């Protein structure tokens, strides 16, 4: 894990390349359904993008949104997008990252390897997530980040990456909080179960990692999610509470997967799922930071 991290650190943080876009696939022989998956973005509007890990014939980027008023030793949020370990890209969390920056956070979205770009398996994505977490801490001073106030955020399969990266963090380097949107918390449930060995499931599935290491956690989940059953989120939080940890699950009746991206108001609520989840997020993080 440390070797690629150190290699990435050898690059100056100002090396935010404007490179020629990579080919659609970095490897040959991928199934035809991957043809519609575009290359991972090397930059995002409003963000500064850094190489954090060269692997598999391409560079992985972290896209950093910073508060406009500058400052040092800011709280930080490291985010992981979803896509079932098959596709997806960092742009899906751009609006959330910008909202975090508006609230004084240095917000970063990490790219990672997925099957339709890299012919990789979920375990490879978890290794990338660990490296992204370590890169944020190692570069905290340059980014103006307080490493003791790092929050991990993830949506769907990216929720599994965020949770595992939090639970696998070394003692003394654990994030202060975890925010998950319709997360995959049990890798034994879903198509990814057949893509991992029993040893990999034990090493990476948040449902199997020691719950005592879980930071204060906020989970948003649609009750009608047809991709990630809400029962897995309920079981995850119950296990955490049994271990004496804080795990707040906010359920949204009738809502399916990715509901939190919707900007239209919910009847009878007065705000959109996007605004409601973020308002609850910042209220939760304010309490977690005060402890």
Radius of gyration of the chain from Cα atoms? 18
Judged by DSSP in three states, 240 sits in helix
Judged by DSSP in three states, 88 sits in coil
Backbone angles phi, psi at 163, to 5 degrees: -65, -45
- Please report whether residue 26 resides in a domain: no
Question: Mean pLDDT throughout 201-205?
Answer: 98
Reported as a single tens digit per residue, the pLDDT across 109-136 is 999 999 999 999 999 999 999 999 999 9
- Please report whether residue 240 resides in a domain: yes
Res. 241 pLDDT band, cuts 50 70 90: very high
pLDDT on residue 26: 53
- Please report whether residue 115 resides in a domain: yes
DSSP 265: P
For residue 88, pLDDT beyond 70 = yes
- Please report whether residue 49 resides in a domain: yes
Helix-strand-coil percent breakdown of the chain, rounded to 5?
A: 40, 20, 45
Reported as a single tens digit per residue, the pLDDT across 130-155 is 999 999 999 999 999 999 999 999 99
pLDDT on residue 291: 66
And the tokens for 183?
A: 């997360």
- Please report whether residue 112 resides in a domain: yes
Cβ partners under 8 Å of residue 228, min gap 6: 156, 182, 183, 184, 190, 221, 257
Question: Mean pLDDT throughout 186-198?
Answer: 95
pLDDT on residue 59: 95
Backbone angles phi, psi at 243, to 5 degrees: -90, 5
Query: Domain residues for 64?
Result: 2-16+41-290
And the tokens for 30?
A: 């991928």
> Per the structure, how many domains does the chain have?
1
CB hemisphere CA count around 49 (13 angstroms): 18
d(CA 163, CA 66): 23
pLDDT on residue 275: 96
And the tokens for 192?
A: 């990814």
At 50, which helix (H) or strand (E)?
A: strand 48-55
First to last CA, the chain: 31
Cβ partners under 8 Å of residue 53, min gap 6: 4, 5, 7, 8, 59, 60, 128, 131, 132, 135
- Please report whether residue 190 resides in a domain: yes
Reported as a single tens digit per residue, the pLDDT across 264-287 is 987 767 899 999 999 999 999 998
pLDDT on residue 7: 34
- Please report whether residue 11 resides in a domain: yes
Percent of the chain past pLDDT 90, that is, above it, reads 82
pLDDT on residue 15: 36
CATH of the domain at 244: 3.40.50.1820
Cβ partners under 8 Å of residue 172, min gap 6: none
For residue 201, pLDDT beyond 90 = yes
d(CA 144, CA 108): 12
- Please report whether residue 184 resides in a domain: yes
Reported as a single tens digit per residue, the pLDDT across 31-81 is 998 999 999 999 999 999 999 999 988 999 999 999 988 777 999 999 999
DSSP secondary structure string for all residues of 208-230: TS-GGGPPSEEEEEETT-SSS-H
Sequence-ordered alpha helix ranges (H) in 82-206: 94-102, 115-118, 122-138, 140-143, 157-167, 198-204
Asked if 179 contacts 144 with a C-beta cutoff of 8 angstroms, the reply is: no
Reported as a single tens digit per residue, the pLDDT across 248-259 is 999 999 999 999
pLDDT on residue 289: 79
């Amino acid at each position: 894990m440390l070797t690629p991290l150190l290699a990435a650190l050898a690059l100056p943080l100002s090396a935010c390349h404007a490179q020629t876009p990579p080919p659609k696939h970095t490897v040959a022989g991928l199934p035809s359904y991957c043809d519609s998956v575009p290359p991972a973005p090397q930059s995002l509007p409003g963000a500064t993008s850094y190489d954090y890990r060269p692997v598999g014939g391409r560079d992985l980027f972290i896209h950093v949104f910073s508060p406009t008023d500058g400052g040092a030793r800011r709280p930080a949020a490291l985010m992981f997008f979803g896509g079932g370990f098959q596709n997806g890209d960092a742009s899906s969390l751009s609006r959330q990252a910008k909202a975090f920056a508006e609230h004084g956070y240095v917000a970063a979205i990490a790219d990672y390897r997925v099957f339709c770009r890299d012919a990789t398996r979920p375990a490879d994505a978890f290794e990338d997530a660990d490296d992204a977490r370590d890169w944020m801490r190692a570069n905290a001073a340059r980014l103006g980040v307080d490493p003791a106030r790092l929050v991990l955020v993830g949506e769907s399969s990216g929720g599994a990456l965020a949770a595992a990266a939090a639970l696998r963090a070394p003692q003394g380097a654990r994030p202060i909080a975890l925010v998950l949107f319709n997360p995959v918390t049990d890798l034994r449930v879903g198509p990814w179960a057949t893509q991992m060995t029993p040893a990999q499931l034990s090493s990476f599935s948040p449902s199997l990692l020691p719950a005592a290491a879980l930071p204060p956690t906020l989970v948003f989940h649609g009750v009608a999610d047809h991709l990630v059953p809400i029962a897995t989120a309920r079981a995850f939080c119950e296990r955490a509470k049994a271990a004496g940890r804080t795990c707040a699950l906010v359920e949204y009746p009738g809502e399916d997967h990715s509901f939190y991206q919707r900007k239209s108001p919910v009847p009878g609520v007065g705000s959109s799922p996007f605004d409601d989840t973020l308002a609850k997020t910042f209220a939760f993080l304010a309490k977690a930071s005060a402890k």
